[in-house]
Structure 1
């Protein structure tokens, strides 16, 4: 069974194309605003929200709501477990291709 602390394991949750792209977008940064992710991935708010929620439910991302200039914003970041799972999934994909 895949666990966040098991590197090199294929992760079905992360493997879905959009969730993989979300993790890849978040991996090199501390966090990204929801709107930045939406625009970078070229998806609708509802689609991104669904996939971010699935990653959050698994403990792979954290979602933080905050106010900036009187407007509500949402920030998304990979958790430690999410980063470990993502790196492990990428390693598993590389192993398959070797």
Structure 2
């Protein structure tokens, strides 16, 4: 995703904690802003999920997802709060370690 497209959809929602819903929310944002998802054939590009620890399923994910189209301009890049803990520069990318705090009650 290009930077300008990520900013157009206001990035990922800040309302998802635990596992589930954030990818569907991003898809709703992409559709709402009239962008197109292109999936090149496997002979050109392949996608692999990053290894990660499985988290607890978020029971509120569907409730949050139903309001994705309403929150797009007020929930995401423009309202995220975090503390930058570390920055590591690599040849092809930069790794940022951030702390987003505790899950809201």
Higher strand share goes to which structure?
1
Q: Say which structure, 1 or 2, has more relative contact order (CA 8 Å, 6+ apart).
A: 1
Higher helix share goes to which structure?
1
TM-score of Structure 1 vs Structure 2, range by shorter chain: under 0.3
**TM-score if structure 2 supplies the norm length?**
0.25
Structure with higher Rg: it is 2
